[in-house]
Structure 1
Amino acid sequence: MATQTKAEREAFSERLKAALARGRKRISTPTALAEAFNLRWHGRSVTPQAAQKWLTGTAMPAPEKIEVLAQMTGVPVTWLRYGLPERRDTGGPPASEARATRYEKVDNGTVTADELRLLSHLRLMPAARRELVRQLVQELALESEMWTK
């Protein structure tokens, strides 16, 4: 396998941590990652030390292991490995034909009235609810990053 750059390893590590954080069973330690991985992997066991290297960006797993990690976390292989979105067939019209909504992305960076209203509502919420909203937005943004229509 080709040697990855430090930036590639670190970017993979960030994507892996994001994928692990969004799962039903949150995996946050190298030991938990190794155990969960080994339940799905039929090759030589992965050690917590190897999982630690994946999580810290000092090493990347082989492509076949990345496939298992992607299946394990429910994310596209191309996104986990390269940061590229994968096409998801939603059965609906292509994104280019989808009807625009008032929440559609504004390309020029202008803040819309809806966004200002949303921000004012967010500021009125207690800290715990703001954190829930932040987590939800982070999850939805990650989902958009992983999949294209």
Structure 2
Amino acid sequence: MSDERFEFSRRLGQAMSAAGYEPRPATLFRLFNARYTGRSVSFQSASRWLGGRSIPEQDKLQVLAELFGVTPQALRFGESTTRVAEARAEWNRMGARERAVIDTYLALPARQRELVGELVKALAQTDRKSTR
């Protein structure tokens, strides 16, 4: 049994227990198939998930997460103490004028933001062509 599958089965069992269910294949099988709109899974699949022998596909993982009140990411990968974040250095170099423009842009209705985006793309393409 791989560590990844074992850790997933441990998290699944904990999520079931925290939601008030006994982490047993029969319970998981019944709960999952009552909620899942696709082709039902077999008892053996539920047993493999809880036994650390397999990890469900993403659509099934999402249903499991909803059933037990956790995020699919936490169920699949565990809680992470680190976050992936965008580097913000260029945002820190912006002046007040640029920030005001962005704030004004964000206040526009969605369709107008789309138009502004198209205009910016067109200007950038024109600028690239003229610098060649």
After TM superposition, the score normalised by the length of structure 1 is 0.51
Give the alignment of 1:25-104 within 5 angstroms: 26-85=21-80
State how many pairs are aligned: 81
| Percent of residue pairs bearing the same amino acid type | 38
After TM superposition, the score normalised by the length of structure 2 is 0.57
RMSD: 1.7
> Counterpart of 2:76 in structure 1: which amino acid?
R
Question: Using the alignment, how far apart are the partners of 1:54 and 1:64 within structure 2?
Answer: 14
Alignment partner, residue 19 of structure 2 = 23
Aligned residue for 1:61, secondary structure, equals coil
Judging changes above 3 Å, is the alpha-carbon distance between structure 1 residues 71 and 85 closer, same or farther for their aligned structure 2 residues?
farther
Give the alignment of 1:121-140 within 5 angstroms: none
Question: Using the alignment, how far apart are the partners of 1:81 and 1:28 within structure 2?
Answer: 16
Q: Which contiguous aligned blocks of 4+ residues in structure 1 show a shift greater than 2 angstroms?
A: none
Unaligned runs of 5+ in 2: 82-132
Between structure 1 and structure 2, the one with the greater Rg is 2
Whether the 8 Å contact between 1:76 and 1:85 is mirrored in structure 2 is no
User: Where is the helix percentage greater, Structure 1 or Structure 2?
Assistant: 2
Unaligned runs of 5+ in 1: 87-149
